[in-house]
Structure 1
Amino acid sequence: MSDTAMWSHEHDEMDECVRALEAVHAFLHHELADADADVIRVHLHACERCMENFDIESTITEMIERSQPAQRAPAGLAARVRVIRRTLR
């Protein structure tokens, strides 16, 4: 397979790729609003290059999560973060 064919896109806008890759970590950590996550999900299904990058980032994230014990934020901090997130939306 040629490099050109491998990196071909179903869409014309490279800006879509840039936005998707900028949001990949937030997407992986479920930090995006549902509508924003849906946009990224649709893009990843349409763009082989971005899906490959997502797969790499996903694998790295999974490896990091497995190597670290799960920790919870103190209840007070978690509550303050939820309030701040609601006000930012």
Structure 2
Amino acid sequence: MTQSHDHSHDEPSDSDCADYLERIVYFIDNELDEADCSVVREHLDSCNPCLEKYQLQSTVKSVVARSCSETAPNDLRERVVLRLRAVQARISETD
């Protein structure tokens, strides 16, 4: 994944950006090795469109994570558990 191109003096090509945009998800999730993280950071420092997309994806991921950490109200959870048990009972009866 690591590329040896030096883009500090010229604009990245569309194909370079496409490669980095694919890696941004892994970068946000800390799933790249340090060498690849450094390469992605360098690209983001020199490519404003990719930086904007990185910031957007990072914000979306943060909002989703925050939303998923909320718990359902007790009455809703109880209704879901009752429905699941009813479905399980029907499945057991047909076996």
TM-score by length of structure 1 reads 0.63
Note the 1:46-57 alignment, pairs <5 A: 46-57=46-57
How many residues align? The count is 62
Which entry has the higher C-alpha Rg, 1 or 2? 2
Partners of 1:20 and 1:40 within 8 A in 2: yes
Partner Cα separation in structure 2 for residue 31 and residue 67 of structure 1 = 22
Pairwise CA distance, 1:12:
4.0
Partners of 1:16 and 1:43 within 8 A in 2: no
Partner Cα separation in structure 2 for residue 30 and residue 63 of structure 1 = 17
- Give the secondary-structure state (helix, strand or coil) at the position aligned to 1:23: helix
Pairwise CA distance, 1:60:
0.1
Runs of 4+ in 1 over 3 A off after TM superposition: none
Which structure 2 residue ranges, 5 or more long, are not aligned? 1-9, 70-95
Q: Which amino acid aligns with 1:17?
A: C
| Paired-residue identity, % | 32
TM-score by length of structure 2 reads 0.59
Partner Cα separation in structure 2 for residue 12 and residue 47 of structure 1 = 7
